[in-house]
Amino acid sequence: MIIDIHGHYTTEPQSLFAFRDKQLAGLIDATRKPTTNDLGITDEQLEQSVQRQLAFQKERGSDITIFSPRASGMGHHVGPEWVSQEWTRMNNNLIHRICSLLPENFIGVGQLPQSPGVDPRNCIPELERMVNELGFVGVNLNPDPSGGYWTDPPMTDRYWYPIYEKLVELEIPTMIHVTGSCNPNFHATGAHYINADTTVFMQLIQGNLFKDFPTLKFVIPHGGGAVPYHWGRYRGLSMMMKKPPLVEYLMKNVYFDTCVYHQPGIDLLAKVVPVENILFASEMIGAVQGIDPETGHYFDDTRRYVDAAKNLSDEDRYKIFEGNARTVYPRLDAILKKRGL
């Protein structure tokens, strides 16, 4: 089985965007606010909206995608807290409906109703709802709700502990994933995403989060940002800070995905990062859409890269494609076992 742990719903019906436009317009003029939260989206429209994802699954040979709302659309930096609460619930509900309609293809992961400077405890009711009522197996956690200005504390700060406590209680991992950037210095998918992945890993080196939460699991996407390329730098910094060896210190709790869109990048990831810490993912349909003229294949067809990585054994590929995901996402494993898989 091939489990893609990083997929976003980026082909939403236009009525969702129409609602968002009205919601934000209502911040300036209350008469323009939406009059209902009913988007009028039928099940047939939802199924039709993910036909490209289904086609790519079939063409590329993946079996199931862990599916979450559009990351750049989470928009935690936009509007007051109630806007984020309303918008988050709406997007999580759409993910739940798609996963209910196509359970053999998609399993849900949700976003949180975060807002800059707002106590993370306020996210816990929605976190509980998405797991206990919607059946989601994970959650995306934004380390920078400000959209590129980093106004909240580091992820190792006790500010975040209520979320971590709930994640451990619910036995779900979190993917560390920012949303769009409102800082003109940082392109969202080309800079802000990679910055955040790298920044959080460095924060984890500086702190000692997993002493307090030994079973907490972080998935750092996009191949771990710049970390694998600078693995020696981070090993060295960890040593200079009198920390234990990096693999021993962090890699029982931190995992990277394979959203790296060229063969040399995957080769490097698989060479320097323990294979037990790599989860298969493509992010389709996501940040990089199009065919690489050098290969003739889609950039985000990441299975090709894993298949072609010469330093991986068949056992290694099993771990990357399936085994590691079952370990990191225990609720996913339970669902699959219930299906006899």
Catalytically annotated residues: 283
∠ CA(142), CA(253), CA(224), 5° rounding? 55
User: SS3 for the chain, per residue?
Assistant: CCEEEEEEECCCCHHHHHHHHHHHHCCCCHHHCCCCCCCCCCHHHHHHHCHHHHHHHHHHCCCEEEEEECCCCCCCCCCCHHHHHHHHHHHHHHHHHHHHHCCCCEEECEECCCCCCCCHHHHHHHHHHHHHCCCCCCEEECCCCCCCCCCCCCCCCHHHHHHHHHHHHHCCCEEECCCCCCCCCCCHHHHHHHHHHHHHHHHHHHCCHHHHCCCCCEEECHHHCCCHHHHHHHHHHHHHCCCCCHHHHHCCCEEEECCCCCHHHHHHHHHHCCHHHEECCCCCCCCCCCEECCCCEECCCHHHHHHHCCCCCHHHHHHHHHHHHHHHCHHHHHHHHHCCC
95/20 Cα distance (integer angstroms): 17
**Whole-Å CA distances, 283 to 71, 158, 191, 222, 333:** 10, 30, 16, 9, 20
